[in-house]
Each structure stands twice: as C-alpha cells, then as structure tokens.
Amino acid sequence: MSAGLEADLLVVGAGPAGLYATYYAGFRGLSVVVVDALDQLGGQMSVLYPEKPVFDVAGFPRVRAQDLVDRLVEQAALAAPTYLLGHEASLLEQLPDGVVVTTDRGTRIRAGALLITGGMGRFTPRPLPAGDAFAGRGLRYAVPRPSELAGKDVLVVGGGDSAVDWALCLEPLAASVTLVHRREAFRAHERSVDDLRASSVRVLTSCEVLDVRGGDRVAEVDVTGPDGVRTLAVDEVVAALGFRADLTALSSWGVELDRRYVRVDRSMRTNLPRVFAAGDVTAFDGKVRLISVGFGEAALAVNNLVPVVRPDLPVTPGHSSDAA
C-alpha cells in the first residue's frame, strides 16, 4: 500500500473540466489532489486530437486543442495541485467528514469532498468490425498527428463531430478524403456539416463499410449503400465511431447513473454525500455536452462543495477581480 495523501478536494479526471475545477478550487482556498487514469493531463483532447481546432470555448474564436490544455494546466498550477497520473480511482469509502479513494496502484487519498470529472478508466474506441484486423496497419481510431496522413487517400467513417472535424482537418493535407456515414443526417454541429458539404471531401451518406482488404496494410474498402457496393482505393481508414469509458467503479460506489452518465442535481451533487460531478460525465435534464458547459459545471460544483468542506465559507465566492 502506497503512502496516503490528504486534501480538501479530490478531483477524478484531468480533462478540461477537471483542470478548470482544480484552478477554481484553489481560487476558493482549497487544497487539491487530481487523479487520472491517463499518463498525461488534458484527457481525450491531448490523447486523441491535440492538433484539432476547438470552436466552442468563450473568448477563443478558434483554438488548437493542445494549446487550450496548456493554458488550462498553467491556470490550474495556481492551485498548486498534486497530480496522480496513471492512477485509476478504484475504491470509495465514505466517512462522516469526508471520503477516502484508493487507486488501482494502492494510493489512498482522503479528502473533504470528491469531484468526478471523468478519468475513471481508460477509454476504448468503438470498433469498426469490418476492418478491426487492420488496426495499426492503416486503420486508426484517432488522428493525434494529422501530418502523418499527408498525401494519402483517406476514408473517414462516422457522422459525429470527430468524424466531420477530422475530415475537414485532413482535407488540405491528404490527397483525397472520403467520409462514409450510415445515416443521411449528421450528429455533428450544423456549421461543421455546412463546411463539410462546401469542401472537397467526398461525402457518402446512407452507406456503411462492408469490407476492408489489403496485404500488410489497408489497400481498398468496400462500401455498401443505396447504389449497391462500390470499391474504394484507400491508404488510411479513420474510424471515428466514438469511445467507451469504463465506469465500472462508479457502479460499485453506488453513484446513480443515467445510462453511462452520472446523475446530478442543479448544484452538481450526486446521490452520495460529499460526491459531486461536472463535465461530459454528468447527466441532467437539458444537458448539453460542450467544453464551455463543462467549465460552468466545474465552477458550480466547486462553489457548492466549498461550504461542505469548509463550513466557514459561503457558496458565493465574490468577484475574481477582488482577489487581485
């Protein structure tokens, strides 16, 4: 068993919401420990799409994902947090005056409150069954370095934000980009879909990947659709079908889940005492999963948990400019 740590707040998840919550907790005078199963800060933004532009953050008409993470890390440093990276939060014990979380590596963290912002386990991509045998040999589930696909014929599979964003990102780099989506309508932002349709990307809707073939690497793909089966010569396939997060620990903790999300109230409280949640991991009526919304939820959670940890402090923090 590793040595234990103590803090006012334990944040589980070092993605954007977790990093902003860390800063804000420090601003409110709390000490913070941050745990994440990944070995780097930034969550999916850093691991999956560090080069992708992000458009929905206030104050930034357009910002590179890794640049946003770097600024969040810089901001969070003001709270002087302790980071435990490569640790999965496994066990939860509830005490009258706090919580104790034990990681899969045996480290115990005692805190006055727990804030879940993701980071419960390593996320795994939803597979493309027809081509999974070519994973790492021309089939990939993320594009952390778009330059690797320069000059190649690329097939992107999916209809969400990641698929559309990667297709647009690769358009000026690749020799050609084709996007295949099994439905007619897209789940991506309307503006992104408009940009896609105005681009040189070849868009095949109501189509699915039937087969992926090649030798050492992907060489061609069969796509089936309203016009029958067509064969496309491709060098790379990007399967942007989403990711699954392992939330098994949450179920064992007794946290109320709404499908795969944590149910919270308007103050970001879960059904467990001293346990709050914020960001993409949460569920409530009217929920919108945007980075900017996650920032607001992080601030709500921290402000509402402050008097739980420090009864001498109010929920309302005052203005940040007063702290200067």
Residue 245 pLDDT greater than 90, yes or no: no
- Domains annotated for the chain, with CATH where assigned, are 5-123+245-323 (3.50.50.60), 126-239 (3.50.50.60)
% residues pLDDT > 90 (the chain): 82
Top-confidence range, 23-32, 159-168, 236-245: 23-32
Write down the pLDDT at residue 1: 47
Strand partners for 228: 225
How confident is the model at residue 259, as a pLDDT?
Answer: 82
Q: Check residue 67 and give its pLDDT.
A: 97
Residue 256: pLDDT band by 50, 70, 90 thresholds?
Answer: very high
Annotated binding site for FAD: 36, 44, 49, 89, 123, 280, 321
**pLDDT, average across residues 238-244:** 89
Q: Which residues are annotated as a binding site?
A: 36, 44, 49, 89, 123, 280, 321
105-124 tens-digit pLDDT? 999 999 999 999 986 566 78
Q: What is the mean pLDDT of residues 312-318?
A: 86
SS3 for the chain, per residue? CCCCEEEEEEEECCCHHHHHHHHHHHHCCCCEEEEECCCCCCCHHHHHCCCCEECCECCECCEEHHHHHHHHHHHHHHHCCEEEECCCEEEEEEECCEEEEEECCCCEEEEEEEEECCCCCCCEECCCCCCHHHECCCEECCCCCHHHHCCCEEEEECCCHHHHHHHHHHCCCCCEEEEEECCCCCCCCHHHHHHHHHCCCEEEECCEEEEEEECCCEEEEEEEECCEEEEEECCEEEECCCEECCCHHHHHHCCCEECCEEECCCCCECCCCCEEECCCCEECCCCCCCHHHHHHHHHHHHHHHHHHHCCCCCCCCCCHHHHC
Q: How far apart are CA 54 and CA 216, in angstroms?
A: 35
Could you tell me the pTM of the whole model?
A: 0.87
